[in-house]
Chain A
Amino acid sequence: MSCTKSTASLKINSERCAGCGMCRSVCPHAVIAIENNKAVVRRLDSCMECGACRMNCPFGAIDVKAGVGCASAIFRGMITGRQPTCGCSCDSGPEACC
C-alpha cells in the first residue's frame, strides 16, 4: 500500500555511505536494501518520508524531506504559512489538542 507513485524525496549518497545498515533497520517499509556494502533505495514508492533513516545515519549520507503525510496538517500549514506539523501541539495545554 502506498499513497502516490514515486513522489518521495529520499536520496542516498553512496560516496558517504559506509554500509552499516542502520537505515535499513529503522525503515518501517523496507524501502532500503544493502547491496555490495552500500545502502540502495529499493522500494521508493513505499517511502513515507518519516526521516528515520536520515536521522540514524551516522555519516550524513541520506537526504529526505521528512514530514507528516497528513492532509489536515498540510492544509493548516498552507493557511498559517508554517511548516506542517501534527495538530496535536500539546505545549499549548492538554485540552487544546486534536
Chain B
Amino acid sequence: MTETFIMGEASTAAGPIPIVGTRLRAADHLGTVSVRLGFRRMNYRVTPGLYAVGHPDGDSPVLVSANYKLSFDALRKELQGIDAWILVLDTKGVNVWCSAGKGTFSDKEIVKRIRATQLADVVRHRTVIVPQLGAPGVAAHKVREHAGFKVEYGPVRARDLRAYLKSGMRATPDMRRVHFPLVERLKLIPMEVRYAMKFAVPLAIGLGVIFMMARGPAAWRDLPWQILPALAAFIIGAAVVPALLPWIPFRSFIMKGAALGIIWTGAILAVYGGGWLWTLGNLLLIPAIAAFFSLTFTGSTTYTSPSGVNEEIRLYARPMGISAVGGLVLIIISFFAN
C-alpha cells in the first residue's frame, strides 16, 4: 500500500514514529467507496504499530485501533488539532468490533503491541484508550496485569473522542450506546445486494430459460413477468428491509422480510394475472426469498444476538425453505400448464 497518509516522523526514545495526517484525501475516500462495494475489502490494511497525530509527547493519550484502514481513517479524521499516539493492533484487516468478536482485537494483542512498540519508553503515563467496541475481545484487567497499562474504554464512535478527551476521559451514557441509524444501514446495503445477486442471477436465468423452453419464442413479452418479481424479492431482502429496518413491524427479521415480500407479491398480482398455479407459486416463493435475505442482514446489524437468531432459525427456517422450494416447483409447473 502506498501510505499517502504519512506526513513525517516524530522522534522518540523508542525511535522514529510516523506522523499521520488527519485530513482524508481523495485516495482515502476512493478506498472507502471501493471496500463498501466489496472490492479489496479484506485486504485494506494499515501496518500495525505506533503512529503519531499532531505533535504528541510523553503525556499525550494513546488511542488503540484496528488495522482495517476504514477504522484507522475513521479515527484519524476525528483528531484534527489533537496531539495523540495511535497504537494500531494487528486485527488481520478487520474492524474493531468484528475483530474483537473473533478474538484478534484482544488483550493479548494489546500487550504484544505495547511491548513491540516500546510504548513504555514513548509515554510517561500508563494508560491506553481502547474503543468501547473492542471490549468483547479485551479483558482490561489482563492488560494491566501483563503490560502494566490501564485500559480506559473510550467512546463507541470516534467522533465523540474530542469531547471524551476534553472531559478528562469521561464518556457520557450516550457515548457508550451503539445506534444503527439509516445512514449506517445504507452503507452496508451494497455488500448485501452483492451477496444476494450470487443467488438471484442464477435463479433468474434458470427461470427465464425454462419459461422460454416451455412457451416458445412468441412468449418473450411475458418473460420479464417471470423473472423480475423474484429478482425484486432479493432486493427487498438485501436492501429494502435493511433500509426500513426499524419501521417495519415485527421483531423477527424473517417476518419483516416475509411481510414486505407478501406486499410486493400482492402488487404484482394486482397488475399481472398468471393463472392460479403461477399466483400460488409466487406467493410462496417471493416472501421466502425476501425473508431469507432479510435474515442474513442479522450479520451486519449492531444489535442481534446469537440466541435470538438461533430462535428465528429454529422457528422459521423449515417453513421458509419448504415455501421457497414449493413455490419454485409450482411456478415451473405453471409454465408448462397453460
Instruction: Known A1-B303, A50-B101, A70-B304; judge A55-B310 contact (CB<8 A).
Output: no
Task: Point out the residues of chain A lying under 8 angstroms from B153, CB to CB.
Answer: 25-26
| Interface status of B178 (Cβ within 8 A of chain A) | yes
A91 to B104, CA, bound (A): 11
Nearest-neighbour CB distance to chain A for B112, whole angstroms, equals 17
Among B53-61, B69-77, B246-254, the one that faces the other chain is B246-254
Beyond A3-B251, A7-B307, A48-B308, 4 additional contacts (C-beta under 8 Å) are A25-B153, A29-B177, A49-B307, A71-B295
| Interface status of B98 (Cβ within 8 A of chain A) | yes
Is there an interface contact between B303 and A55, defined as CB atoms closer than 8 Å? no
Task: Point out the residues of chain B lying under 8 angstroms from A5, CB to CB.
Answer: 251
0 or 1 for each of A72-98: is its CB under 8 Å from B? (1 = yes): 111100000000111110110011111
Number of interface residues of B (CB under 8 A): 50
Which residues of A pack against B, CB within 8 Å?
A: 1-5, 7-9, 22, 25-30, 46-52, 55-56, 58, 65-75, 84-88, 90-91, 94-98
Residue among B304, B311, B312 making CB contact with A48, cutoff 8 Å: B304
| Interface status of B80 (Cβ within 8 A of chain A) | no
A19 to B156, CA, bound (A): 23
A3 to B305, CA, bound (A): 7
- Which A-chain residue is minimally distant from B144 (CB atoms)? A58
Is there an interface contact between A4 and B308, defined as CB atoms closer than 8 Å? yes
Task: Point out the residues of chain B lying under 8 angstroms from A47, CB to CB.
Answer: 305
Among B15-23, B135-143, B220-228, B266-274, the one that faces the other chain is B135-143
0 or 1 for each of B233-260: is its CB under 8 Å from A? (1 = yes): 0000000000001100001110000000
Is there an interface contact between A69 and B177, defined as CB atoms closer than 8 Å? no
Sample of 26 A–B contacts (CB below 8 Å): A1-B246, A2-B304, A3-B304, A4-B251, A4-B307, A8-B307, A8-B308, A22-B140, A26-B132, A28-B132, A28-B178, A30-B176, A48-B305, A52-B136, A55-B135, A68-B299, A69-B305, A71-B253, A71-B296, A86-B98, A86-B102, A90-B42, A91-B92, A94-B43, A95-B43, A97-B42
A62 to B101, CA, bound (A): 17
Residue among B136, B138, B303 making CB contact with A2, cutoff 8 Å: B303
Task: Point out the residues of chain B lying under 8 angstroms from A88, CB to CB.
Answer: 42, 94, 98, 102
Is there an interface contact between A28 and B176, defined as CB atoms closer than 8 Å? yes
Task: Point out the residues of chain A lying under 8 angstroms from B137, CB to CB.
Answer: 55
Task: Point out the residues of chain B lying under 8 angstroms from A87, CB to CB.
Answer: 299
Is there an interface contact between A69 and B138, defined as CB atoms closer than 8 Å? no
Nearest-neighbour CB distance to chain A for B274, whole angstroms, equals 31
0 or 1 for each of B26-48: is its CB under 8 Å from A? (1 = yes): 00000000000000011100000
Please provide the 7 A-B residue pairs with the shortest distance between their CB atoms, ordered closest to farther: A70-B299, A69-B304, A97-B42, A52-B135, A26-B135, A4-B308, A3-B308
| Interface status of B10 (Cβ within 8 A of chain A) | no
A84 to B94, CA, bound (A): 17
Nearest-neighbour CB distance to chain B for A63, whole angstroms, equals 13
Task: Point out the residues of chain A lying under 8 angstroms from B135, CB to CB.
Answer: 26, 50, 52, 55-56
Is there an interface contact between A84 and B306, defined as CB atoms closer than 8 Å? yes
Nearest-neighbour CB distance to chain B for A67, whole angstroms, equals 4
A26 to B56, CA, bound (A): 27
With a 10 A CB-CB cut-off, give which of B41, B100, B305 has the most chain A CB atoms: B305
- Which B-chain residue is minimally distant from A26 (CB atoms)? B135
Task: Point out the residues of chain B lying under 8 angstroms from A52, CB to CB.
Answer: 100, 132, 135-136
Is there an interface contact between A1 and B180, defined as CB atoms closer than 8 Å? yes
| Interface status of B298 (Cβ within 8 A of chain A) | yes
With a 10 A CB-CB cut-off, give which of A30, A86, A90 has the most chain B CB atoms: A90
Is there an interface contact between A90 and B92, defined as CB atoms closer than 8 Å? yes
| Interface status of B81 (Cβ within 8 A of chain A) | no
A3 to B246, CA, bound (A): 11
